[in-house]
Amino acid sequence: GNVFIISLAGGELSAASTPTELTTIVLAAGSAAPTAVCVDPAEAEAISADGGVVTLGSAAPCDGSAAAPSPPLSSLSPTLSPTEPSELLAPPSPPQDASLVLTASLMGTSVDVSYSSAIPLSGIEFLLQDGTGSPLAATGASGGAADADGVEVATGDNGNVLIFSLTGTAVNSSASLVPLTSISLASAPASGVACLASAVGATVDAIEVEAGISVGACDSGSGEAPSPQPSAGSRVSLSTMLSADGTSVFIFYTSDQELAGVEFVLRDGNQTPLRVSGGSGGATEAAGLEVHTGDSKTVVIFSSGTSTLPAAASDTLLTTLVLESAPVDGAVCLGSGQGIAASTFELVDVDVSAAACEGDSSGEAPSTPPVSIGLTLSVALSSDSSALDVSYTSDQELAGVEFVLRDGNQTPLRVSGGSGGATEAAGLEVHTGDSKTVVIFSSGTSTLPAAASDTLLTTLVLESAPVDGAVCLGSGQGIAASTFELVDVDVSAAACE
C-alpha cells in the first residue's frame, strides 16, 4: 500500500490552492474492489521544495469508521517544520547494528556500487557526483543484489539514486562487500572521478540508518575529488582456514581500499614453507586477477590488466589455494605479506596477526630477516627513451623482486614487457600490466643469483617515453630465497624525489 511520488531530475509539484488531482493509482490486476479507500495521516508525509518536512491532513482518514466528510481547505494546509527531522524516515533511535557500508568504483561510463549490511534494508539512497561536486546524470541501473532481491533502482539527471521496494521485498544483509548495482552514466565524467555523498539506508521497519562510504566517498568539505589514501595508513589484513581434509587453504582478507595485488608466504606450524599448486575462486577470480604460485612458496595475486581487488570491510574470501600435500602438523600460518594499493601503486603492509607464524615445534619464534641484505635497484633510460635497464645488487639469492616505476612527475609508467639480464638467464618471469607494478617472479624453483656489483636485472620496454625524460623508483621489495621473507630494497640511487 505504500505510494512514493518523487523526482530524481529536479522536478517539483506545483502549489495548488484548490483540490487538484495528484495522480490516479491503478490497483493490481485481480484485486477485489475495495469498499472504501482511506489515507492514514500518521503515515503520510511530504517534503517542501526547500527541504522542510510537511505534515499532511486527510479528507479520508483511516480510523476504523466511515470516511469523514472533507474538512475546510484551511484545515488541510500543510504545516511546515523545516527544522524537525522526518519521523517516518528518520526516527531518533536507529538500530546500532546496521553497519551499512557502500563503495563506488568508476568503470568508464558506469559506476559499480557495492555494499555490506548487518541487517536487511528496505531502501538505500545516495547522491552520485563527479570529483568537482557536480551531480552525475544516470540513465539506468542493473545487476547486483538490487536485481537479485527484486528491488527497484531509480536514477535521474540530478545524481540522486534511490533503491527501494513497493512490494515488501528487501535488500538482503551481507557480511562482506558484494555488488549492489551498476549505474549507467549518460557520459563518462570529465574529471575521471565518480563518488558517493549523502548516503542513507532504511530498515524494513522504515527506520533510517547512516551509511558509511569506505571507498569512493566525495569530499563534502571542498567538493574536490577525494585524495588517495596514503599507503602508510592503509589497513589490509589476511587470515587463513585449512579445509577439513587438509588439502586446501581458504585465504580471507580485509582492506579499506582497492588493491592492485597481494603477496604472502604460507608455512606450516614448523615454519616450513608449503607448496601450492594453484588457486581459484573468491574475490581474486571475481575481479579477474591471477594467482601465481610455484616452488618458491610465495603466493602472488596480481593483474596483468587494470583489474583490482575491491575493498572489504569484513573478512572476505580472497582465494582458495590447493596444497600439493597436507601440512604434517595440521597447521597453516602466514609468514609475511604485502599489498599494492590500487590508488597509488605503492606497497603497503599487511596485518597477518590473525594467522601469523608464532614459532616452530621447539616453541621458538622464527628468526627475523635481516634489515638489509644489500639489495639495491638502479635504472638507466635508453637514448631513445623507449626502454629501461634495471640493475641490482644483492648479497644473497632472491626468489623475486617487485618495484614501481614513475616519471619525474610521480606518474606511474606503463611497461609492456621485460627481457634479458639475470632475470631471463635464471629462468624467472617479468610480469607487467596496467597496474604499473613490475613483478619478477618464478613459477618454479629458479632464483636470482647474488650480485656484488651492479648487474643487469632486466630490460623493460616502455609503452611511451616519459614526458620529462626522467625515470625513478617509487618503492621496491625483494623475496629472500633462503627464508621466503620479504626484504627491503634500497632504491636511493634512483629514488623519486
Whether residue 261 sits in one domain with residue 207: no
* Residue that finishes a domain, picked among 53, 85, 117: 85
pTM: 0.38
Segment 64-72 shows an average pLDDT of 46
> For residue range 449-497, what is the model confidence (pLDDT) as tens digits?
998 888 999 999 988 888 778 888 877 778 877 766 677 788 887 777 6
- Please indicate, yes or no, whether residues 206 and 111 belong to a single structural domain of this protein: yes
Q: Is residue 220 part of a domain?
A: no
Q: 235 and 197 in one domain?
A: no
- Which range among 25-29, 35-39, 87-91, 224-228 shows the weakest confidence by mean pLDDT? 224-228
432, 470: one domain: yes
Helix (H, G, I), strand (E, B) or coil at 282: helix
Domain end point (choices 325, 355, 385): 355
Evaluate whether 116 touches 175 at the Cβ level (below 8 Å): yes
User: Mean pLDDT throughout 52-69?
Assistant: 55
- Short-list 75, 65, 79, 181, CA closest to 123: 181
Give the contacts of 67 (CB within 8 A, at least 6 positions apart): 36, 38, 59, 60, 61
Residues 108, 185 within the same domain: yes
Query: What number of other Cβ atoms are within 10 A of residue 4's Cβ?
Result: 10
Among 24-38, 218-232, 354-368, where is mean pLDDT lowest?
Answer: 218-232
Supply the pLDDT for residue 310: 92
Total number of domains constituting the chain: 4
Residue 221 forms part of a structural domain: no
Mean pLDDT calculated for residue range 295-324: 80
More confident residue, 245 or 115: 115
Residues 189 and 108 in one domain: yes
Given this model, what pLDDT does residue 62 score? Answer: 67
- Same-domain check for residues 306 and 209: no
Q: Which domain holds residue 22?
A: 1-85
Sequence-distant (≥ 6) Cβ neighbours of residue 31 within 8 angstroms: none
* CATH code where residue 145 lies: 2.60.40.680
The answer to whether residues 385 and 430 belong to one domain is yes
The answer to whether residue 360 is domain-embedded is: no
CA distances from 332 to 292, 329, 483 (A): 19, 9, 17
Find the mean pLDDT for residues 166-192. 83
403 touches 437 (CB < 8 A): yes
**What is the mean pLDDT of the segment spanning 329-342?**
80
3-state secondary structure of 154: strand
Distance CA 110, CA 56 (A): 39
Distance CA 62, CA 342 (A): 56
Does residue 297 have a pLDDT over 50? yes
